[in-house]
Structure 1
Amino acid sequence: MARRYEHSQEEIKAMVMQAANQIIVEQGGAALNVRKIAMTIGYTVGSIYMVFENMADLVLHVNAETLDEIAGALNKVETGSASRDLEEIAKAYLKFASLNFNRWSMLFGNRFVDSGHFPDWYRAKMNRLEEIITTQIARLHPENNPQQNQRIGNALWGGIHGVCLLSINGRPDKESLQEAEETLRVLVRAFVGGER
Structure 2
Amino acid sequence: MARRKEHTHEQIRHMAISAVVEHLQCHGVDNLSLRKVATTIGYVPSTLINIFGSYQYLLLAVSEQTLLQLAAQLQLIKPTTPKQTIEQMAIVYSQFALANRRCFRLVFELTMTDDQPLPAAHLGLIKSLFSDVESQLSQYFPSACEQEVEMMSRVLWGGIHGLTCLSLDGKLFETQSCLQDMLTSHVSSYIDGMSIKRNSNAAN
Q: Mark the runs of 5 or more structure 1 residues left unpaired by the alignment.
A: none
Which aligned pairs between 1:33-182 and structure 2 lie closer than 5 A? 33-110=33-110, 113-114=112-113, 117-169=117-169, 175-182=174-181
Distance across 2 between alignment mates of 1:3 and 1:128: 38
Cα 1:177/1:190, change in 2 over 3 Å: same
Aligned to 1:29: 29
Runs ≥4 residues deviating over 6 A: none
Distance across 1 between alignment mates of 2:59 and 2:90: 25
Superposed CA RMSD in Å reads: 2.1
Residues 82 and 137 in structure 1, CA contact (< 8 A), matched pair in contact too: yes
Q: Once the two structures are superposed, what CA deviation does each residue of 1:85-136 show, in whole Å capped at 9, x if it has no partner? A: 11110000010011111111111223x5349932211100110111111111
Q: How many residues align?
A: 192
Name the aligned partner's letter for residue 26 of structure 2.
Answer: E
- Bigger Cα displacement from structure 2, 74-83 vs 150-159: 74-83
Q: Mark the runs of 5 or more structure 2 residues left unpaired by the alignment.
A: 196-204
Task: Give the structure-1-normalised TM-score.
Answer: 0.90
Identical columns (%)? 28
Distance across 1 between alignment mates of 2:182 and 2:60: 31
Distance across 2 between alignment mates of 1:14 and 1:178: 35
Task: Give the structure-2-normalised TM-score.
Answer: 0.87
Question: How big is the shift at 1:180?
Answer: 1.6
Indicate the structure (1 or 2) with the bigger Cα radius of gyration.
2
